[in-house]
Every structure is written in C-alpha cells, then in structure tokens.
Amino acid sequence: MSENEQAPENPTFADLDIDDRVLKALSDVGYESPSPIQAATIPPLLAGNDVVGLAQTGTGKTAAFAVPILSRIDLSQKSPQALILAPTRELALQVAEAFGKYSAHIPGLHVLPIYGGQAYGVQLSGLRRGAHVVVGTPGRVIDHLEKGTLDISKLAFLVLDEADEMLKMGFQEDVERILADTPEYKQVALFSATMPGAIRKISKQYLHDPIEITVKSKTSTASNISQRYVLVAHQRKLDALTRILEVETFGAMIIFVRTKQATEDLAERLRARGFSAAAINGDIVQAQRERTIGQLKNGALDILVATDVAARGLDVERISHVVNYDIPHDTESYVHRIGRTGRAGRAGEALLFVAPRERHLLKAIERATRQPLAEMQLPSVEDVNAQRVAKFGDSITESLTSDNLGLFRKMIEDYEREHDVPLADIAAALAVQSLECDSFLMDPEPPPPPRREREPRERPARRFDDGPPKRSRGPGEQELSTYRIAVGKRHRVVHGAIVGAIANEGGLRRSDFGHISIRPDHSLVELPADLPRETLEALRRTRISGVLIQLQPDQGPPSGRPGRGGRDDRAGGRFKRDRDGKRNPRG
C-alpha cells in the first residue's frame, strides 16, 4: 500500500491483498476481520519490509507474520525459506499448528517444528523430505546447524517470536549466532511484548530500516477475562480450592504454583479428592508432556497444575479458568498466566489466591493491569452440599437411560422379595456403595473459639539446660516449641523479615510467635508446638533474603555446652566464656 492510498478504517482480510488460498483458509477457521496488530503488520510484510511489532501476548501475532509468509512462499524451493524462532517448545508447536491451518489450501507446503525433548529421527526425516517453513527453539536449531542437517543459506524470511522472552530465558547468544548464519538479504520480523535494550540492539544490527508497529491496549489483560481474588491463609488454600472446584462450573483449568515439587504435590492431593488432575513442569519428559496436553484438549483431563515456564505457549480452547494458587511476585507473570484463558475472544475466569500478608502484591497487580480485582467469597458448606446433592440427582437421571436398567431392576426386585427390604433402603445402600466415601456431605464449620481475655503475666525464666525448649504461654493458650531456621546475621535478616515470611507462608498470626533469637548463621524462633505437617512442609520451602530457611525443630546445644547466650557459632571454631568473660577456643 503506497503512502498516498487511504487504508480502510475497519479493514477485512480481503482488503489486505492476501493470497486467495490463505484467505480461504482464514475464512474456514472463522476469521473475519484482522486484529489491530494483524491489520498494521500484514501490509508492510507483504511489501517486503522488515518489521518490529510490539504487542502483548494473545493479540494474534502468529497470524500477523504467518499470513504474509504463506502468501509469498515459493513451493519450488525445497530448502527452508522461513525460519520462526520461539522461546519454548509449546509455542513452537502452537505456531507450527497455526501455519498448518492457514496453509490448508496450499497443497505440497511442508511445515516442520524442531525443538528439544523430541527425538532427532522425526526431525531429520522432515528436513530430508524438505520443509518450506521451520519453527524451532534456539537450542535445537543450533544443534541442527552444527550437525549440518539444517540448511538456512537460502532463507527468505526470519521471525523472532516473543523475542523478549527468548532473551529473558538466556537465548541471546543463540539467537545472535543463528542470525549471523542467515543470508544478508532476507526479510526479518521481530515480535515482542516489550522493547528492552538487548532487543533494540538486535533490531539495529540485523534488521534493515524496520517499520516499528506498536499496538497499545488500555489494560494489560484482556477485557473478556473476569478477574477475582480470594483472601485465604496459606494452610487453608487446599480447602478453598476444593470448594471452588465443587461449586464453579468450568471446562478445563490451569492452576499455577511456584515450584516443580508443588505441581506434583497439589496434583496428587486433587486426585485423592476425586478430581482429574495432572502436573506439568520442566522435569517432565516431552513425550509425557505432549500426552498430558493432549488429554487436556480431548477432555480426558480437566485440571493442569503447572509452573510458569511449563505453561508458556499453551493454547487449549477448553481452558475456561486460570487459578493463581501461588500469587506471582511480578505482574508480568500474572498477565502471562491469565492469558492462557480468554483466547480468541472467548470468555475466561481468573482467580487469585491472596494470603493476608500478600495484599501488597495484589495492589501491585491492580496498578499494573489498571483493573481492580473483585473479592470472591468462598463457597459455604451449604453451597458445597447443595451442589453435591444436585450432582447426585443428575447422576441418577443420567443412569435412568442406561441399557442395563432392566437387568438391575430385576435383580433389585428379587432382592426386595427375598430380604423384605424397602426399595428406598436398597437404593440408599447402593448409593453408599457407589460413592465409596465416609461422608457424602461436608460437616458444618465449627464455631470460632471464644476470645479469652489475656491476663498480665511475667515471662517465665528459661533454663539453658532444658534441651529443645517447649513452653505454655498461659492458661488456655497454645504450647510453643523452638524451631531452627538456616538464616542469621550474616544474611542480614531482621525480626520483621522472619515474622513476615513465616506468617505469610504458614498462615500464622503475630500472636503465634514467641521469642526470636538471630544468631550469626541461623536463628531460633518460637512457634506453636502443634504446627500441622502441611504447614511445616510449606515453611521448610520458604525463603528469606533468597535463602531456603529449612525450618526444623531445634535440638538444643550438644550435651555439656550452654545454649542461648553461651554459644558463638562463628566460622573457625566454637567458643565458651570463662569466669572473666573472655572467650576461650574449645576443641
């Protein structure tokens, strides 16, 4: 389109001079009008210009570069003409799948994804057969270049998709190495959500007079995603999640946690509660990963528990809900997470679990997205029980249409005559047998304990030779034990950081803490003696100042050596004080 021509105000794909075969494929998949990034990017790419496109994820960037490439591809050339670099295997597969859809009416065009975790044999066969479009992750592309199995000497199109993510994941040297191996005269398109200095440098060095296109959104998150948060203590998260899963209607769901181990733990606990759940993280082999995602797509699986990196590029139409079980510490992660739902204009639901001491992270997310999150009240016991009764009734209605109904009716009638038992009792017994659970309905929540007025009291004297300290805090109050954590003065921790981290991750109150003693290389903290196992596990994995605290019950000083106040754990030896207060080396 020349500068003097006026672009249509609301263009259709037919207005963009796209190849008719590609246009027909777009119509087949239901695309009518281009998104802002597509409308702005397709014309200059069709004209042969280099382009830098800045837009958030989920705005239709794949079609923005796939459509012009397919419109200009030369099927007579068997060596790769287009190379698309993507940061993750999931995104590479997603882009390759999109190219397949848009080229449905271009017979003889071959698209090949190459990525780490897949056997080389499949990729080598595809490269030998001839691939017009190669979609790959930087590491595997370099492997093929070094082996001499990938020839990019005649490359006409190069795309860097989600370039900022590639650099953030440490692929800058790989990307620059690949760019250096490509022909000087080629068309380059770079797509990114942000424009850090490294991206600007690559743009200046490897792109020729690029046209920069920025698509700004009023908010960082899609307007068709309903965002809510639940205020819940750490140790009650699983109960809260279970209630939501029982009451909310959802197609498929992704639940985000922070660590690989947490994906396995939470998925296992959800399966134990009767939900169809699986974990996905960086340690899972690619074959199992693809099977799990396939099950999510075909409905054999309903819930995926994932880390941020494992879910990159995941696009499954069934995903109606995203749950942030662990609140992300940066707003970009939050935007990427909830972008897994509400794709292609569909409605989506995003839920965020917020511990009382994480309210500042909630405020940061609201400021960054410029959208307030609505507080959601947890479903009550009555709500859950009503839903269970309704589902039980639905299952009866569904079973009434079974072909085996006549057979079982005769068996029930025979049993009724032989044992003289009412039909209602037989039906109830069969329900108990089929449900295989101790309690069908949730028990009512216990009333909150009455508040006790605290009487002023003197702090009891501590003996240094009592072993692991354990004490009662007064009539009717909880007993305390001393726990050891692996951070101390050399980590520059303060009392407030210890209280904040442990209270946040363990769902504790300030009143649950007793004395805190910060030593050179560790600290001693008095906490309730009856901490649940789940809370202890969460606290062992807690970090303060970036250090894993490894919380464990304190075993006290070794026999014959004083405890608090009489020990100095400095590197180079142990010390005890003589009668004059001087330190003498010991051992």
Q: How far apart are the first and last CA of the chain?
A: 85
Same structural domain, 364 and 410: no
Residue 570 lies in a domain: no
> For residue 516, what are the CA distances in angstroms to 65, 147, 237, 499, 548?
59, 59, 27, 9, 18
Last residue of a domain, one of 189, 214, 239: 214
Domain that holds residue 539: 470-553
Residue 45 lies in a domain: yes
Last residue of a domain, one of 214, 243, 273: 214
Stretch among 71-75, 216-220, 479-483, 510-514 having the lowest mean pLDDT? 216-220
Same structural domain, 323 and 244: yes
* Among the listed residues 335, 339, 374, 362, the one whose alpha carbon sits nearest the alpha carbon of residue 220: 335
- At residue 253, the pLDDT reads 92
Residue 482 lies in a domain: yes
Same structural domain, 105 and 243: no
- Per-residue pLDDT tens over the stretch 13-31: 888 889 999 999 988 877 7
Is 70 exceeded by the pLDDT of residue 459? Answer: no
Same structural domain, 375 and 278: yes
Same structural domain, 43 and 101: yes
206 and 184 Cβ atoms separated by less than 8 Å: no
The model carries a pTM of: 0.48
203 and 158 Cβ atoms separated by less than 8 Å: no
**Distance in angstroms (rounded) separating the CA atoms of residues 222 and 442:** 37
Residue 465 lies in a domain: no
- Per-residue pLDDT tens over the stretch 76-104: 888 999 999 998 887 888 899 889 999 99
Residue 156 lies in a domain: yes
- At residue 348, the pLDDT reads 85
Higher-pLDDT residue of 41 and 446 is 41
Instruction: Look at the chain and count its residues.
Output: 587
Residue 392 lies in a domain: yes
- Per-residue pLDDT tens over the stretch 327-344: 887 676 788 888 888 765
Same structural domain, 72 and 102: yes
CATH number at residue 547: 3.30.70.330
Same structural domain, 388 and 368: no
- At residue 6, the pLDDT reads 39
- Per-residue pLDDT tens over the stretch 285-317: 878 888 898 899 888 999 999 987 777 767 788
Q: Are strands 574-577 and 583-586 parallel, antiparallel or unpaired?
A: antiparallel
Same structural domain, 363 and 388: no
Same structural domain, 358 and 391: no
Same structural domain, 195 and 331: no
254 and 323 Cβ atoms separated by less than 8 Å: yes
Same structural domain, 28 and 174: yes
Same structural domain, 206 and 301: no
**Distance in angstroms (rounded) separating the CA atoms of residues 125 and 110:** 12
Residue 362 lies in a domain: yes
Is 70 exceeded by the pLDDT of residue 1? Answer: no
- What is the count of structural domains for the chain? 4
| Residue 445: CB atoms within 10 Å | 8
The mean pLDDT value for 433-439 works out to: 61
**Distance in angstroms (rounded) separating the CA atoms of residues 357 and 359:** 6
Residue 460 lies in a domain: no
Last residue of a domain, one of 391, 417, 435: 435
Is 80 exceeded by the pLDDT of residue 484? Answer: yes
- At residue 135, the pLDDT reads 95
